[in-house]
């Protein structure tokens, strides 16, 4: 009788499958799979699930609530994991970023940038930051709109926030959008990144965080450098406690 695969082995197999798909999609677009960072979205997943992914040499993990993230990160502080905060961040939760997260994907206001910089200044830590753009003007999504993006970048740079390193842009695909609509949105975000990097002379403004479990292959085609994959690695999401 065949044995049922264990949860850790399923997660490891899933990661390898996604990595292979990334490499194939990247090659089709004239890029290397190494140009694309796979972020395993571990929100609501158990510590054991994260440890299984770590055993497959997965380094980058994404969390969208501070409460859930702290339970895992604080157990793994001496590990090689790189943590990305990918959810909407409230000002009163910024104090939990230092010492835990290396990336924030969802900056969308000057007030939040200043609050984060103040918290990081006390620890001396810097944070790599992406600005979330609501490319499709979806009322159900957070993020700055396309027209306001240049002003936000300019005001952040004028504040000279030492602890924040602007690295690029992030977007979340509109729920129910067609493949054509998603492709248009992803292409627009790439164009915005290139335009902002040139306009503000930001040589390190190179990252594009776009694409999730349902559309990451399309995002890679449009130039994504970071894809956020949850269910295709861990399976169905657990309910938060």
Q: What is the pLDDT of residue 238?
A: 57
Instruction: Note every long-range contact of 135-139, with CB atoms under 8 Å and residues 24 or more positions apart, other chains counting.
Output: 135/171, 135/185, 135/188, 135/189, 135/192, 136/173, 136/174, 136/177, 136/181, 136/185, 138/172, 138/174, 138/175
**What are the residue ranges in the chain where pLDDT is below 50?**
1-4, 240-241
- Tell me which residue of 236, 230, 240, 239 sits closest to 42, measured CA to CA: 230
- Furthest-apart CA pair in the chain: how many Å? 67
Q: DSSP letter string over 13-69?
A: HHHHHHHHHHHHHHHHTT--GGGSEEEEE-TT--HHHHHHHHHTT--EEEES-HHHH
Q: Give every CB contact of residue 117 below 8 A, 6+ residues apart in sequence.
A: 159, 161, 162, 163, 164
Q: What is the pLDDT of residue 2?
A: 47
Q: What is the pLDDT of residue 240?
A: 47
Whole-angstrom CA distances from 240 to 88, 190, 192, 206, 237 are 16, 33, 35, 33, 9
pTM: 0.94
> Which two three-digit tokens encode residue 235?
């399976």
- Give me the domains of the chain, ranges plus CATH numbers: 7-230 (3.20.20.10)
Q: What is the pLDDT of residue 177?
A: 86
């Amino acid at each position: 009788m065949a044995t049922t695969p264990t949860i850790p082995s399923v997660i490891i197999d899933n990661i390898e499958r996604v990595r292979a798909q990334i490499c194939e999609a990247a090659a089709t677009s004239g890029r290397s799979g190494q140009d694309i960072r796979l972020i395993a979205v571990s929100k609501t997943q158990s510590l054991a699930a994260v440890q299984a992914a770590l055993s497959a040499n997965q380094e980058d993990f994404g969390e969208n609530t501070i409460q859930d993230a702290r339970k895992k990160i604080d157990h793994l502080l001496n590990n090689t994991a790189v943590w990305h905060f990918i959810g909407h961040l409230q000002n009163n939760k910024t104090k939990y970023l230092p010492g835990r997260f290396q990336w924030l994907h969802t900056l969308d206001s000057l007030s939040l940038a200043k609050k984060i910089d103040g918290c990081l200044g006390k620890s001396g830590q810097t944070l790599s930051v992406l600005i979330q753009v609501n490319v499709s003007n979806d009322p159900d999504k957070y993020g700055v709109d396309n027209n306001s993006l240049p002003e936000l970048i300019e005001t952040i740079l004028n504040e000279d926030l030492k602890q924040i390193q602007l690295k690029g842009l992030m977007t979340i695909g509109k729920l129910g959008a067609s493949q054509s609509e998603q492709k248009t949105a992803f292409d627009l975000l790439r164009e915005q990144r290139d335009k902002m990097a040139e306009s503000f002379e930001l040589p390190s403004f190179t990252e594009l965080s776009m694409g999730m479990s349902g559309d990451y292959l399309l995002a890679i085609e449009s130039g994504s450098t970071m894809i956020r994959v949850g269910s295709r690695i861990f399976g169905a999401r657990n309910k938060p406690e």
